[in-house]
């Protein structure tokens, strides 16, 4: 190999080294951004799913169950009051029918 060829190879290696340095800087920046993001995502997952405790998902599910139970209970109470009013009306009608004579 001639001296010119060796210099050309050396120059090319230097350019490749600079490109690798730029790539390493970009990767380092991405790692610096990704690690805090991963930490935040993990914290959000703990908040939402609870990580062994009641998370937001479990709390919302419990609230929906309670609300459904209350709605069912309220509907039952309204139906029961309606039946009681109807029965009272029938009883008054029977009493007034017997007392008219």
Q: Assign residue 45 a region (left: φ > 0; alpha: ψ between -120 and 50; beta: otherwise).
A: alpha
Please give the average per-residue pLDDT across 5-17, as a whole number.
91
- Which residues lie closer than 8 Å to 48 by C-beta, 6 or more apart? 55, 56, 57
Q: With b meaning 16 or more CB within 10 Å and e meaning fewer, what string describes 38-48?
A: eeeeeeeeeee
pTM reported for the whole predicted model: 0.44
Q: What CA–CA distance (Å, rounded) separates 98 from 93?
A: 9
State pLDDT tens for residues 21-68.
Answer: 999 999 988 888 888 888 888 888 888 888 777 888 888 888 888 888
Of 46, 67, 68, 66, give the one whose Cα is nearest residue 57. Answer: 46
Residue that has been written with the tokens 């609300």 in this structure: 67
Does the structure show a pLDDT above 60 at 95?
yes
Confidence of residue 101 (pLDDT cuts 50, 70, 90): low
Domain boundaries in the chain?
1-53, 62-101
Q: Which two tokens stand for residue 83?
A: 């039946």
What is the rounded distance in angstroms from the CA atom of residue 87 to the CA atom of residue 80? 10
């Amino acid at each position: 190999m001639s001296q010119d060829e060796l210099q050309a190879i050396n120059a090319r290696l230097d350019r490749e080294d600079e490109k690798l340095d730029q790539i390493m800087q970009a990767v380092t920046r991405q790692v610096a951004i990704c690690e805090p993001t991963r930490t935040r995502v993990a914290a959000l997952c703990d908040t939402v799913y609870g990580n062994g405790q009641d998370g937001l998902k479990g709390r919302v599910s419990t609230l929906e169950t309670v609300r459904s139970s209350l709605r069912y209970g309220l509907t039952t109470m309204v139906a029961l009051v309606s039946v009681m009013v109807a029965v009272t009306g029938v009883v008054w009608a029977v009493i007034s029918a017997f007392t008219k004579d």
